[in-house]
A = this chain, B = another copy of it.
Amino acid sequence: MENQKAKPKQEMTKASQNPTVQDEHKGAVVTIIGVGLIGGSMALALKDKGFAKKIIGVGRNEASLQKAKELNIIDESMPLEKAVKQSDIIYISIPVDATVPITLQVLNAVGNNQVVIDAGSTKSALCQAVATHPMRKQLVATHPMWGTEYSGPEAAVRGAFEGRACVICEQELSDKAALKKVETIYNKLGMHIIYMDAVNHDIHAAYVSHISHITSFALANTVLEKEKEEDAIFEMAGGGFESTVRLAKSNPAMWAPIFMQNKENVLDVLNEHISQLRKFKSSLEKENIEYLIELMENANKIKRIIK
């Protein structure tokens, strides 16, 4: 049940701003390896913004690929080698433990006019693994900072990346034309690009993303453990609870490899978090309300950073 027509374009506001650059990519055949939340949303965005004339999906799960076709996210699916051979752009958006071997496999197969992009949430392991590969320069290592707690092609959304940051790592090791192409794509998708080395990326990602997921998973486990009357949670839980616990619905198959690859940084920030929670514990145990207020007033400083 192949469907060659993409859904109507929903977001085209910026698509005509730079027709020269856009036309240059209009004919691109794009392979998306891993058509889930990120890959699926990227496929929709590349079609909507005029960067892709054809999207080929690659993945291990035949049912997912079928679903992606039904949703008009991809035009067709085929095995990796065959897909890479006919593509201008290869976008890799799979769990980060699989990203390393698959990226190497893709680099083994590409030529000087093909661009490989990865979207992994960790960057050090990949950058190390490809460092000495003769085709390293065809890879642009990126992390578009967007996601939801849902997964699979059904989770793909239009306009997903608009207004978010995208980190590009080790841009000096990428081919200039390939880098420019990738920058153009992310910019047209409405992202602002931050350049960072892979080691720093992984430290910052632990602070602003990975720890939030761990605290949310742990909070869900806490409440599920303590609250035997699930009806009470269901009836009483309000916006605050939902907001802090929603990331606990995230996909373990995606997050386990991220935490493992970024183990040192995640442990570092997790230790700090446990120590911060102990301060709250201590202020309560000692009924030290001044200290409790001081801890909260300090936390209020986050207003400077998030609206």
Report A's interface with B, CB cutoff 8 A. 145-149, 164-165, 167, 192, 194, 204-205, 207-209, 211-227, 229-230, 232-250, 252-253, 255-257, 259-260, 263, 266-274, 276-281, 284-285, 287, 289, 292-293, 295-306
Contact = CB atoms under 8 A, between A and B. Distances in A.
Contact of A192 (B192, B235, B238): B235
B248 A246 contact: no
A281 B287 contact: no
Contacts of A274: 274, 277-278, 281
B281 A267 contact: yes
B276 A281 contact: no
B284 A219 contact: no
Interface centre among A243, A268, A287, A295 (most CB of B within 10 A): A243
Nearest to A164: B238
A40 to B, nearest CB: 17
Contacts of A272: 222, 225-226
B300 A248 contact: yes
B280 A236 contact: no
Contacts of A235: 165, 192, 194
17 contacts: A146-B238, A147-B240, A192-B235, A204-B232, A207-B227, A208-B232, A209-B238, A214-B280, A222-B273, A234-B306, A249-B300, A252-B293, A256-B289, A260-B287, A263-B284, A270-B280, A274-B274
A220 B302 contact: yes
Contact of A218 (B237, B239, B280): B280
Nearest to A242: B306
Contact of A165 (B220, B236, B267): B236
A223 B240 contact: no
Contact of A240 (B209, B236, B241, B299): B209
B208 A236 contact: yes
B260 A292 contact: yes
Contact of A260 (B243, B278, B289, B304): B289
B223 A302 contact: yes
A249 to B, nearest CB: 5
A280 B274 CA distance: 11
Nearest to A307: B242
A297 B209 contact: no
Contacts of A216: 240, 244, 299
A236 B167 contact: yes
B299 A284 contact: no
A270 B269 CA distance: 18
Given A212-B245, A221-B295, A241-B306, 18 more contacts: A145-B238, A148-B239, A149-B240, A209-B238, A216-B299, A218-B295, A220-B298, A220-B302, A226-B269, A237-B305, A240-B247, A243-B244, A244-B247, A252-B293, A255-B296, A256-B293, A259-B284, A274-B281
